[in-house]
């Protein structure tokens, strides 16, 4: 059955490529609006040879991974802290809510004013975008933990750290990984915004550069590579989730 799905998916991809190659030509659409598949591939080779494409890809991947890791760690840490203290949550939650509502991409110009055209603006935007979904998921999971189980652990004289390691952390892991899957894609958005607004390297920079040159093929290639980075990061998160949460039974596929 899986082989049939794979074959069908491959056929859909082939049909999409054929349509991409011939429909713009039949419709008389100029290449600076929608380039054909072959024109896009030719431009990809040119970008590799003349535009230091590998360096741009590595720069974007590095910032994406770094922002994802830092934002996730900070979000999870604060989520566990606030989930452990109802008083602290009530005090800090209004400010967190205000920052969560604020559009994160709007901070990019401000970070550029503060840090200049360096790697910091795109990294900070990525951290902000990743931070809040992780925080909300972890905080919500901490609120749904069975209080009777925690009281039982206290009755057996378990320390606060032991309660966290044996009850709270394992109970929060499914929600944490659900947030990580979401943020694996959001991290790419954060880096792209930072690179487009004030970067001089990366795929987001190439998108802006291609737009200025009316080079739609360059924009298409940059978007495709950004998508590939997001998929790769998502696959890594799913792999880690399967290794860590192997004890959770999976639904059978029919």
Q: Rounded to 10 degrees, what is the CA torsion of 70, 125, 235, 172? A: 50
DSSP 30: -
Gap between the Cα atoms of 36 and 32, Å rounded: 10
The number of domains in the chain is: 2
- Examine the domain organization and report whether 11 and 76 are in the same domain: no
What Å distances lie between residue 161 and 16, 70, 157, 169, CA to CA?
Answer: 54, 23, 11, 10
pLDDT digits (tens, 9 = 90+) for 81-117: 988 888 888 888 888 888 888 888 888 888 888 888 8
Q: What is the mean pLDDT of residues 61-74?
A: 95
| CB 74 within 8 Å of CB 160 | no
| CB 104 within 8 Å of CB 128 | yes
If you average pLDDT over each of 174-178, 196-200, 224-228, which comes out highest?
224-228
Contacts of 191 (CB under 8 A, 6+ apart): 60, 63, 64, 67, 122, 125, 126, 202, 204
- Examine the domain organization and report whether 93 and 127 are in the same domain: yes
- Examine the domain organization and report whether 22 and 122 are in the same domain: no
Contacts of 30 (CB under 8 A, 6+ apart): none
Contacts of 8 (CB under 8 A, 6+ apart): none
pLDDT of residue 165: 81
Gap between the Cα atoms of 228 and 194, Å rounded: 18
- Examine the domain organization and report whether 16 and 142 are in the same domain: no
| CB 138 within 8 Å of CB 79 | yes
What confidence category does residue 24 fall into, taking pLDDT thresholds of 50, 70 and 90? confident
Q: Rounded to 10 degrees, what is the CA torsion of 173, 177, 183, 188? A: 130
**CATH (domain of 108):** 1.10.3720.10
Q: Is residue 250 part of a domain?
A: no
Q: What is the CA radius of gyration of the chain?
A: 23
Q: What is the mean pLDDT of residues 225-248?
A: 89
Residue 128 belongs to domain spanning: 31-244
Gap between the Cα atoms of 117 and 253, Å rounded: 49
- Examine the domain organization and report whether 138 and 208 are in the same domain: yes
Token readout for 86 is 């109802």
- Examine the domain organization and report whether 83 and 97 are in the same domain: yes
- Examine the domain organization and report whether 110 and 42 are in the same domain: yes
Gap between the Cα atoms of 170 and 204, Å rounded: 37
% of residues, the chain, pLDDT over 90: 39
pLDDT digits (tens, 9 = 90+) for 192-218: 988 888 778 899 999 999 988 889 999
Mean pLDDT rounded to a whole number for the chain: 87
| CB 188 within 8 Å of CB 244 | no
Examine the pLDDT at 182 and tell me if it is beyond 60: yes
Contacts of 97 (CB under 8 A, 6+ apart): none
Nearest to 245 by CA among 237, 254, 233, 235: 237
DSSP 253: P
């Amino acid at each position: 059955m899986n082989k049939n799905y794979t074959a069908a998916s491959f056929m859909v991809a082939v049909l999409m490529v054929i349509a991409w190659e011939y429909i713009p030509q039949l419709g008389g659409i100029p290449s600076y609006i929608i380039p054909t598949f072959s024109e896009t591939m030719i431009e990809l080779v040119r970008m590799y040879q003349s535009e230091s494409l590998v360096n741009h890809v590595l720069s974007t991947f590095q910032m994406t991974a770094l922002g994802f890791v830092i934002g996730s760690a900070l979000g999870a840490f604060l989520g566990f802290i606030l989930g452990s203290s109802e008083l602290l949550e009530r005090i800090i939650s209004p400010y967190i809510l205000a920052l969560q509502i604020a559009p994160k991409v709007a901070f990019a110009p401000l970070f550029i004013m503060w840090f200049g055209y360096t790697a910091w603006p795109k990294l900070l935007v990525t951290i902000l975008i990743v931070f809040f979904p992780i925080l909300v998921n972890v905080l919500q999971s901490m609120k749904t933990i069975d209080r009777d189980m925690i009281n039982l652990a206290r009755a057996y004289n378990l320390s606060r750290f032991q309660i966290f390691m044996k009850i709270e952390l394992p109970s929060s892991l499914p929600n944490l990984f659900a947030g990580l899957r979401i943020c694996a894609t959001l991290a790419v958005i954060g880096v792209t915004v930072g690179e487009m607004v004030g970067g001089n390297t990366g795929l987001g920079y190439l998108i802006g550069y291609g737009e200025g040159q009316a080079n739609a093929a360059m924009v298409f290639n940059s978007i495709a590579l950004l998508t590939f980075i997001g998929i790769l990061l998502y696959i890594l998160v799913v792999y880690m989730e399967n290794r860590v949460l192997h004890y959770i039974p999976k639904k059978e596929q029919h």
